[in-house]
Structures are given as structure tokens and as C-alpha cells.
Amino acid sequence: MTIAYLDNNSTTPVLPEVIEAMLPCFSESFGNPSSIHGCGRRALVQVKHAREQVAALLDCLPSEIVFTSGGTEGDNLALKGMMSPGDHIITSAIEHSAVLGTCTWLEHLGCEVTRIGVSSNGQVEPDSVRQALRKNTRLISIMMANNETGVLQPVEEIGKIAAEADVWFHTDAVQAAGKVPVSARNIRCDLLTISGHKMHAPQGVGALFVRKGTRLQPLFYGGRHERSRRAGTENVPGIVALGKAAEVAMQGFERGEDKKMSTLRDRLQQGILAQVEEAGVNGEGAPRIPNTSNIYFDHVEGESMVISLDLKGLAVSAGAACSSGAIEPSHVLIAMGLPAARARASIRLSLGRQNTAEDVDIALALVPETVARLRELSPVYKKTAISI
Ligand code: PLP
């Protein structure tokens, strides 16, 4: 049984107040928002309210919000909706596969793609974006916060570069929204993706901010939903949940909950590093979202850590993924210049609103003892090096 869940960058539990907000959508206001009868109108009112709540979170107009099925769809819609064969897109090597995979598809379609690298702290250098600009550059897509390291990217500077070059700018803010204030206006982006299940709404709902005047080709053809930018009957319960989660996040910023979370995260991180040698934080020194800590433990496999910790009731994740029978190190950590062995030795701990100081205490007890045990079992690790 999971006793402490510290994998909130993968998905978050739906908050009780969010469940409460969405429940009437299954019974009282279950209508189709396109229907003109009272039942449909009630659903439409709910969707309108949620649109205002999400717009408030992103500091934009309600009409600039397009509801989607989540982050993957938002990223696909932003990129495929803006690019045509012959166009050039600038992205980074540390993007989520929703962006990187779409870029590969765009290449097959006849688009040109530049994937810029990052510095050792995990940040994109705005200058390398400027240098990558070409005559046919149509879109820049750089994420706001990285899902593995939590490192915040200099999106405001990149937005300025895009505006000066008269190039469209998309940012994947899936891991930033709800954790740090996000202002589409200040970033000066034209497109911005968020996902409900990363901010305590359910899986399967999200939104794409599309700046007024941005001409976007839809992914789906059908009805004129979402001002013809996303056909398909709206996921009313999901949209209402996303709106409520946006409101809760805004209230949290007013109460300084983001600062409290970073204090908790820092205690977790420092507590682990104080007990374990040959360990360190990936992306340390760079600005980060307040909930994420990506830590390497040399001489240990991240996957083994995840499994061992899970058996003890602590849920965390490893950046590495099993692909074709081999453990592939994280493309993000490799892009930051980590040797493959250190990238494989990394795990990500990510907090959510539901986490308490006790959850951190559990992690502080379990992580060091698990590292020590796995190192002891390792034939290559010198046992004398263990200092706990
Ligand atoms: N972008 C980032 C940065 C993510 O972390 C994720 C999910 O992990 C996605 C996009 C995809 O979002 P979704 O799971 O809602 O499709």
C-alpha cells in the first residue's frame, strides 16, 4: 500500500473540492452545452464559468481558452495547428515527448526542426534560441518548466525574442500551471498548454491558450465547438474540474502555498543529501518549480530505487524508462551533460497539495536506507564509501 505519494509530476489526486464541483455535472447539469434547452444551457453556464476560471489562472481572455483532452493534445494542436511543410520550428532537447514526438512527425511532413541543447543546470540559453532563428522560422516551442527536473525556463526572454523576430511562440506549461503563477501576457506567448491531472483535476482534460488573432488549424473536424478550434462535445465534468482546480491554485498563491511547498521540498532534498554521500540534485542552482527534486545516487539504479521504495510504500519515479528491454537514461538528464550511469541513478520526488510534513519524514527515513541497502548489494560499489 502507498503510504506517501511523491510522484505528483506524473499525476495528482483530485482534490475533494474539485470532486464536489464536478459531481453535479453527472446528474443536475449533465446536458450537452450545444443544446438549447434548459439542461444544455445549464451545462453551458458551467463551461463558461470554468473558462473564466482558467483564463484568470493564465492571465488571458476567456475566449483565448480552448479546452482539450490534456497536455498531449494541447501540444499537438499548438504545433500541428501552426506548422506547414517548409516551415522551421525551434524547440529544445528537453521537451516532453508530446512536443518532441510531434516535431519528428513534422519533419516527416517536410518541416525543419532545430532542437537546441541546454546548459548543465538544465536551462535553455535564450541566445541559442536567437541564433537558431532562420528566415522560415514559424514557431518556437520551449517548455515553461521541465517535468523531470522542475527547472524553469527563461520563457519571458524567449517570448521577447519571438516577438522581435515576428515568430509565433508556444510554451508547454503543463508542469508550471498551478505550481507557479503563469501569465500568458507577461510571457508574450501565442500558445500555452496546460493539463488538468497535473494540478489536481482529473486525467483527460486540459486547455490550450490561443492568443486572439492566432490562426490555428484544428486537429479534428466536426462541430463548431471551442470556436471551431477543437471539435467534439465538451468534457463538461472535466472542464468544470479544471476550472475549480485553477481557482484553488490561484487562492493558494494568495496564501503563499507555493512558498510553503518549496520549504517542504527543500527540507526533503537537504535531509536526503545530509544522509547520503555521492548524491546531488540535478538542476541545482537553476530556478525550479517549488515541488520537484530530481536527485542522483551514484552506484544505484533509479529503477531499482523506485521498485524498492514502492515496496515500502513510497511512490516516486525514475527518469529512465525501459525501452526495447534496455533501461534508457533520461533524454533530459543526458541533454544536461550527465553521464548515462548518473542519469540512470536518478529519481524524481514531486510534491502535491495533499502532501504533509509526515510524508516528507517518511521519505527522509526510507530513501537513505534504501540507497544504502542497494549499494551494499551492488558488486561494484565500495562498501567503505557508505557513510550512513
Ligand atoms: N507536457 C509535459 C511537460 C508533461 O509533463 C506532460 C505529462 O507528463 C505532458 C505534456 C502530457 O500531458 P497529458 O498527460 O495531459 O497528456
pLDDT bin (cut points 50, 70, 90) of residue 319 is: confident
pLDDT in tens, 108-164: 999 999 999 999 999 999 999 999 999 999 999 999 999 999 999 999 999 999 999
Residue 197 CA: nearest ligand 1 atom is 15
Residue 168 has pLDDT above 50, yes or no: yes
pLDDT bin (cut points 50, 70, 90) of residue 384 is: low
Length, in residues, of the chain: 388
Q: Work out the end-to-end distance of the chain between its first and last CA atoms, rounded to an integer number of angstroms.
A: 27
Residue 221 has pLDDT above 70, yes or no: yes
pLDDT in tens, 68-118: 999 999 999 999 999 999 999 999 999 999 999 999 999 999 999 999 999
pLDDT bin (cut points 50, 70, 90) of residue 388 is: very low
Please give the distance, rounded to the nearest whole angstrom, from the Cα atom of residue 387 to the centre of ligand 1: 38
Residue 287 neighbours by CB under 8 Å, 6+ apart: 151, 152
Active site residues: 322
Calculate mean pLDDT across residues 304-321: 91
Residue 73 CA: nearest ligand 1 atom is 16
Among residues 206, 220, 205, which one has the least CA distance to residue 80? 220
pLDDT bin (cut points 50, 70, 90) of residue 366 is: very high
pLDDT in tens, 172-219: 999 999 999 999 999 999 999 999 999 999 999 999 999 999 999 999
Residue 47 has pLDDT above 60, yes or no: yes
For residue 96 and ligand 1, the question of a CB distance below 6 A is answered with yes
pLDDT of residue 381: 80
Q: Are 201 and 221 in contact (CB under 8 A)?
A: no
Distance (Å, rounded) from C-alpha 222 to C-alpha 107?
A: 27
Question: H/E element holding 66?
Answer: strand 65-68
Please give the distance, rounded to the nearest whole angstrom, from the Cα atom of residue 374 to the centre of ligand 1: 31
Q: What is the pTM of this model?
A: 0.96
Average per-residue pLDDT in the chain?
A: 95
Residue 386 has pLDDT above 60, yes or no: no
Please give the distance, rounded to the nearest whole angstrom, from the Cα atom of residue 277 to the centre of ligand 1: 32
Q: Are 229 and 216 in contact (CB under 8 A)?
A: yes
